[in-house]
Structure 1
Amino acid sequence: MRVVICINTSWNIFNFRSGLIKGLLAKGYQVIAVAPQDEYSDSLVQMGCEFRPVQMHQTGSNPFRDFHLFLDLRRIYADVKPDIIYQYTVKPNIYGSLAARSLGIPVVNNVSGLGTVFLNRGLTSRIAKLLYKLAFQKADLVFFQNKDDKADFLTQIKLPHLRTDLLPGSGIDLQSFQSKSEISNKPFRFLMIARLILDKGVEEYLLAARNLKREYPEVVFQLLGQLDEKHARGVAKKYLQEFIDDDTIEYLGTSDSVKQLIDESTCVVLPSYREGTPKTLLEAAAMSRPIVTTDVPGCREVVEDGRNGYLCRVMDWRDLARKMQKMIELPPEELMKLGKNGRQYVASKFDEQLIINKYLEVTANILE
């Protein structure tokens, strides 16, 4: 039996779906990874996957270019002849579904967050929703990462017969993500990990940090993530530089040592406007680090307010600063208690093996 996994980058497949690939291979399935070629493509082959490259632009909605993506995916799927296709991210979900539908191949799509398509009301948003409706009509199953995303999707896109289920992202590898050191608040170190776009709450974090730095000059505020000025909502490098120059934050750029940075932090912050299931928060909780995040879909699924972190109001840097200050003033034993509670919570709900078992069950049912 042949299973295709199609995502917008090989990096994404390797970093978020390696556990699923290993589970499928262990059951005797052949796994074909379909994604743009990047430095992680060879790693997928070394894992045991067959790799098929496809050109895929991450942003924009050029109809001519996207029609070529549909044709490319249809050609690959027709050649590979998979028994089932798993698709993730917007363009594989839409154009991959249309391609698979034309070939009669079963499809399971994963909506990992509604993003700007559902937050906005412009022409591009309306076109995207129309394409979603057309593409998902014949999907065998669609996974959503939280009940709010599912409800909002089905409210805005009328698909009464769509088969859906909830699955909290890719889960977390509890063996890999374990703290190697106890929490230290000397100095107290906040860490935000996110792509630098406004919807992640980067501006709120910067403003909260600047405000707190006046009262707590010894506290360290770190920011890890890739600048993306080409993105419509990208943070301008010039704006970020202001906070670097006045010593408000330490900008870490990108790193392959995320686990180490989490382990060195006291608290992880993500003031995002909306998420599916934020991987960085799962990693932080698994590594026994308390969290400050927004009370929005996706984020609030990972944090029980007051038990393993604090929830703040969305788009409100002052409330974010209040919750971060509350965290600063906790004694070390309370910080450790929050961290321990977080580890227990994600182990009960987000263990990667639970997610892998669900995929294996769905795969077997559809193939039968």
Structure 2
Amino acid sequence: MRIALVINTSWNIYNFRLRLIEALLAQGHEVVAVAPYDNYSQKLELAGCQFVPVPISQSTNPVTDLKLLWRLYRTYRRLKPDVLLHYTIKPNIYGTIAAKLAGIPAINNVSGLGTVFIVKDFVAAVAQALYRFAFRFPGKVFFQNADDQKLFLEKELVRQEITEVLPGSGIDLEAFVPAATYQRNQPFVFLMVARLMFEKGIAEYVEAARLVKARFPEVRCQVLGAIADSNRSGISPELLAEWRQAGDIEYLGFTDDVAPIVAQADCVVLPSYREGTPRTLLEAAAMAKPLIATDVPGCREVVKDNENGLLCQVRSATDLAAKMLQLLQLSNEQLQQMGQASRKLAETKFNDRFVIDRYLAAIAEVTKTAANRNPNV
């Protein structure tokens, strides 16, 4: 069977879907990665994929989006995959319409709602209308948390019978492991891992760091993540420079190998406005780290208040700082217990083997349904 994954970056496929790709290849399937060309495209080919470059613009220009729809349709007609796996907004919308036109079954994954449901403007209204039209056609739609699924159902963007909730992209429990022994840093280290976007709560984290360091100047508040200034919610390099100069945060840049940096932190923080199921929290949980995150969809799937971390109010630097100070003053034993609870949650709820098994079942289901509808194809 030929299976194509369609995502807005090759980086996304390589970092979040490689384990699924490996499972598909192990079953003898042919896997095609359809995405814009970037530094990870060749890595996908080395992993055993066929790579097909398709530019996917971040803009909201309708002419550009129509060109994307046509480009995806032509690509699907040429590749003739047995099933298409769509991720991220534009592949979910335009890829699904193209799949319908090409007569190919599709499985969609709503990995997060982003600004489309956070910012209430004309662009968001158009995007929701497009979701409502496109989501008439896929054979299956996966959501990464029950809140996102409920929102789509309430807005009548998708039929309930084709939806299912998955625990994010899952986590490889063998790649992200706890340290052999617990050791608290002196000074204490908070770490935020996220793209530098306002909707990730970076501004609140910077302000909270300032408030925390006003009481405990030695505490280190670090940020790891790519600059996303091309995104309409992105932080500009100039603003980042101002924050760094103020001395309240340390910017660590960007890396694919986050595990060594997470290992050196005492607590991982994510004050996001809304998530699917945040990969950064899953990685930190698997490494037995205490967590702090906002009490919003996605984040509260991974952070159980007063068990493996603390939940704070969304868009509130003051409450985030209060939770950081609360956790900072816990005993070593309490921090270790929180970390152990994080690892247990990762093992029982977020093992990526479950996600892979559900995808394999969904692929079998939608391709069988498509074959029954088109017995002569």
Judge same fold: TM > 0.5, yes or no.
Answer: yes
Instruction: Tell me the amino acid that sits aligned with residue 45 of structure 1.
Output: E
Deviation at 1:236, TM superposition (A): 3.2
Deviation at 1:160, TM superposition (A): 4.0
Which residue in 1 is equivalent to 2:239?
239
Change (3 A) 1:273 1:34: same
1:124-139 pair list within 5 angstroms? 124-139=123-138
Q: Within 1, Cα distance between the matches of 2:242 and 2:51?
A: 43
Q: Within 2, Cα distance between the matches of 1:183 and 1:140?
A: 48
**Contact 1:204/1:317 (8 A) holds in 2:** yes
* C-alpha distance after superposition, 1:73-105 (max 9, x if no partner): 111111111111100000111111011100111
Q: Within 2, Cα distance between the matches of 1:163 and 1:211?
A: 46
SS in 2 for 1:341: helix
Change (3 A) 1:162 1:99: farther
Which residue in 2 is equivalent to 1:48?
48
Instruction: Tell me the amino acid that sits aligned with residue 142 of structure 1.
Output: V
Deviation at 1:161, TM superposition (A): 6.0
Change (3 A) 1:208 1:68: same
Which residue in 1 is equivalent to 2:146?
147
1:264-279 pair list within 5 angstroms? 264-279=264-279
Deviation at 1:241, TM superposition (A): 2.6
1:199-210 pair list within 5 angstroms? 199-210=199-210
Instruction: Tell me the amino acid that sits aligned with residue 77 of structure 2.
Output: A
Which residue in 2 is equivalent to 1:185?
185
Change (3 A) 1:283 1:159: closer
Q: Within 2, Cα distance between the matches of 1:359 and 1:127?
A: 29
**Contact 1:225/1:252 (8 A) holds in 2:** yes
SS in 2 for 1:138: coil
**Contact 1:139/1:162 (8 A) holds in 2:** no
**Contact 2:135/2:157 (8 A) holds in 1:** no
Deviation at 1:162, TM superposition (A): 5.7
Which residue in 1 is equivalent to 2:65?
66
Q: Within 2, Cα distance between the matches of 1:333 and 1:82?
A: 53
Instruction: Tell me the amino acid that sits aligned with residue 351 of structure 1.
Output: N
SS in 2 for 1:323: helix
Instruction: Tell me the amino acid that sits aligned with residue 14 of structure 2.
Output: F
SS in 2 for 1:253: coil
Instruction: Tell me the amino acid that sits aligned with residue 155 of structure 2.
Output: Q
Q: Within 2, Cα distance between the matches of 1:186 and 1:257?
A: 24
Q: Which moved more, 1:132-141 or 1:223-232?
A: 223-232
Instruction: Tell me the amino acid that sits aligned with residue 360 of structure 2.
Output: L
Count of aligned pairs between the two proteins: 367
Q: Within 2, Cα distance between the matches of 1:161 and 1:179?
A: 38
2:252 maps to 1:252: yes
2:20 maps to 1:20: yes
TM-score, length basis structure 2: 0.94
Deviation at 1:184, TM superposition (A): 1.8
Which residue in 2 is equivalent to 1:117?
116
Which residue in 2 is equivalent to 1:87?
86
Change (3 A) 1:41 1:239: closer
Instruction: Tell me the amino acid that sits aligned with residue 65 of structure 2.
Output: D
Q: Which moved more, 1:159-168 or 1:64-73?
A: 159-168
* C-alpha distance after superposition, 1:121-162 (max 9, x if no partner): 221112111111111111111111111111112222444466
Q: Which moved more, 1:260-269 or 1:328-337?
A: 328-337
Change (3 A) 1:160 1:88: closer
* C-alpha distance after superposition, 1:205-248 (max 9, x if no partner): 00110011011011101011122233222223333333322321
SS in 2 for 1:301: helix
> Unmatched 5+ residue regions in structure 2?
369-377
Which residue in 2 is equivalent to 1:224?
224
Which residue in 1 is equivalent to 2:198?
198
Q: Within 1, Cα distance between the matches of 2:175 and 2:51?
A: 25
Which residue in 1 is equivalent to 2:372?
none
Deviation at 1:317, TM superposition (A): 0.8
Instruction: Tell me the amino acid that sits aligned with residue 100 of structure 1.
Output: A
SS in 2 for 1:354: helix
Deviation at 1:64, TM superposition (A): 1.2
Instruction: Tell me the amino acid that sits aligned with residue 219 of structure 2.
Output: V
Q: Within 1, Cα distance between the matches of 2:226 and 2:85?
A: 27
* C-alpha distance after superposition, 1:48-68 (max 9, x if no partner): 1111110111x2211111111
Which residue in 2 is equivalent to 1:337?
337
**Contact 1:137/1:162 (8 A) holds in 2:** no
Q: Within 2, Cα distance between the matches of 1:199 and 1:160?
A: 28
* C-alpha distance after superposition, 1:32-51 (max 9, x if no partner): 11111111111111111111
Which residue in 2 is equivalent to 1:326?
326
Q: Which moved more, 1:271-280 or 1:39-48?
A: 39-48
Q: Within 2, Cα distance between the matches of 1:255 and 1:139?
A: 34
Q: Within 2, Cα distance between the matches of 1:334 and 1:243?
A: 32
**Contact 2:201/2:272 (8 A) holds in 1:** yes
Instruction: Tell me the amino acid that sits aligned with residue 313 of structure 1.
Output: Q
Change (3 A) 1:162 1:62: farther
Q: Within 2, Cα distance between the matches of 1:76 and 1:179?
A: 43
Change (3 A) 1:147 1:60: same
Structure 1 residue ranges, 4+ long, deviating more than 4 angstroms after superposition: none
Which residue in 1 is equivalent to 2:103?
104
Change (3 A) 1:183 1:76: farther
CA-based RMSD of the aligned residues comes to 1.3
Q: Within 1, Cα distance between the matches of 2:256 and 2:122?
A: 38
Which residue in 2 is equivalent to 1:294?
294
Q: Which moved more, 1:85-94 or 1:111-120?
A: 111-120
Change (3 A) 1:158 1:11: closer
2:30 maps to 1:30: yes
